[in-house]
Structure 1
């Protein structure tokens, strides 16, 4: 059966048509879209209803020409394994897209070509193409070359993680040390006197801050801090943890620097014939994690972990970036947000 010719597509609704339908001026429609605080509530409701009824969509290209904004934020996506993705950064990306959308912006993901370790050329290409208003950078390290590069180039940016002392303080972070100090207080309040900290090597600034925060607070509280024996090169972390858990003088609680090392603790505890969990539930070794990734709720027992305020972090990053884009003065110091300890059966 042959189909007849398709009807012509209806032209997009114009701002003038919205104005006529609402019985207002073109400028009032523009104010409704861009400065609603200038419009009386009854007029705002009438114009908004006309916009919804007619399906009006602002001309973003015209708006970009007028304001100079591309309404797009570039996010330098961390390298990840698609078959074993980082659940924390996936959650952060979700929060970032929502936060940008709330400000009328999109997020453009980019990264260097496969195998390239230096992101600066990819940043330069994106900025030269004038595709984005600015950049969000994550996993910021001490002396991060990306931060120095964009700062020298005058590119607006906001970093998830602290920048160096001599660099612009355009960052948002959590207080990793304070979060782990709260973990130490939680364990001490439950009666633990011998504790340990389990984490990969603390060469990453956030892991180092977590280790120092936990150890300092544990010692201040008078807890005995035990350390796993050094693992042989290439040996699994579980082996060192098992050695730590042998004997009567073992720790009764182990705090992990993230959720994945907590899985090693679970395995080591069980391999030694012990039970994960707080004493109130009949457990031998309390365990805590950090990041509160989805796996925490599905472990048995469910894992106590520190939850990052990802939506608040993303919203603060977008506000910080757009303030620079719009020529407002940036803060002289970064923004530190508090994390939340979510207590579950692994430490009760």
Structure 2
């Protein structure tokens, strides 16, 4: 028969106290914490309820010494300007910390010393110091040298961004082409027949995928497409907006590029949303504060972070690895700039 333990005076509830309260072995409680798939569902429910009721908190330092696990995930933070931070990656970090915390893990941020271009020595230092159990990489390119380095070293990792063919499949990304195709359909449904795309020069794979998705869907919809001669240059966008055949809508590859489109439209004496519809990408906080508020593509940052943590923990547990990367859908948030 189980007994409800009394909290030790000046002490804390132990794993033995939880086991005694539920009427199970100490190992069963340990399995419930570390390998819940090994515990019968009804027993797991009772153990979990007792842990919450008694306020038991595992001794993470003792667990680390015993298992070698730090219950810490390393995040190689992208270089950023503290006075002009990237709002998208800041939101992703928040989501990553929450997703890791839900699994009982912390996130350690690190990056190479200022002026150091190659992150691989810093990765090696963090791993050699046994500070993390695995890594999360962001802004991953198809032939990213970080991926090849950690994969060759056998370091568990998960990547935000598609890994090229032949590489590991534990990556998560959005379907950039499908996202931009949805933008084109949105504009076509509102009667636009001449549409433009404003993006940076070729180079970034996700931006190339957006441009390709835009063009392909415009062809399917029978729309006329125009792009600035010098991508994302305000002067060239202004030139695009002159004349009787100017586009009545412009899709931008990012919210910051959409600001350039706003500026160009107003410089030509036109009105955003009335004369030219505008759509951005990322749905950063600025979208809600522009006038008119900017329609934009929202990334599922919490779903991305949760999927990355699951992929990484599966490696740590020795579970089968995925045969394909994971593409998540986006959401088009419609506001006054394109109604």
- 1:49-68 to 2 correspondences below 5 Å: 50-52=53-55, 56-68=56-68
Post-superposition CA distance 1:154-183 (Å, at most 9, x none): 111110001111211211001100110111
What residue in structure 1 maps to residue 267 of structure 2?
271
* Residue in 2 that maps onto 1:256: 252
Give the whole-Å Cα distance in 1 for the aligned partners of 2:159 and 2:49. Answer: 41
3-state DSSP of counterpart to 1:216? helix
Superposed, 1:317-332 pairs within 5 Å as: 317-332=308-323
Determine the structure 2 residue equivalent to 1:215.
215
Per-residue CA distance 1:184-213 (angstroms, 9 max, x = gap):
111111111111000111210000000111
Counterpart of 1:156?
Answer: 156
Q: Deviation string for 1:4-47 (max 9, x for gaps)?
A: xxxxx934443334455666654454455443655548844762
Structure 1 portions without partners, runs of 5+ = 1-8, 278-282
Partner SS state of residue 100, structure 1: helix
Q: Take 1:49 and 1:187, find their aligned partners in 2: how far apart are those partners?
A: 51
Task: Name the structure 2 match of 1:47.
Answer: 50
Counterpart CA distance in 2 for 1:180 and 1:217 is 8
Alpha-carbon separation, structure 1, partners of 2:183 and 2:45 = 52
Q: 2:5 corresponds to which residue? A: none
TM-superposed CA distance for 1:69, in Å, is 2.2
Map 1:132-171 → 2, pairs under 5 A: 132-171=132-171
**Partner residue of 2:3?**
none
Aligned length: 328
Map residues 72-221 of structure 1 onto 2, 5 A cutoff: 72-221=72-221
Q: How many angstroms does 1:142 deviate by?
A: 2.9
CA offset digits 1:270-328 (Å, max 9, x no partner): 11110011xxxxx0000000001111111111111111111111101011111111111
1:218–1:224 contact (8 Å) kept in structure 2: yes
| Contact 2:32–2:44 (8 Å) recurs in 1 | no
- The gaps in structure 2 that reach 5 residues or longer are 1-8
Do structure 1's residue 337 and structure 2's residue 333 form an aligned pair?
no
Asked if 2 retains the 8 angstrom alpha-carbon contact of 1:256 and 1:288, the reply is yes
Q: 1:62 to 1:191 in 2, by over 3 A?
A: same
Q: When the two structures are superposed, what TM-score results if normalisation uses the length of structure 1?
A: 0.88
Normalised TM-score (structure 2): 0.91
Any conservation in 2 of the 1:296–1:302 contact (CA below 8 Å)? yes
Q: Counterpart of 2:173 in 1: which secondary structure? A: strand
CA root-mean-square deviation: 2.0
Contact 1:21 1:50 in 2 (8 A): no
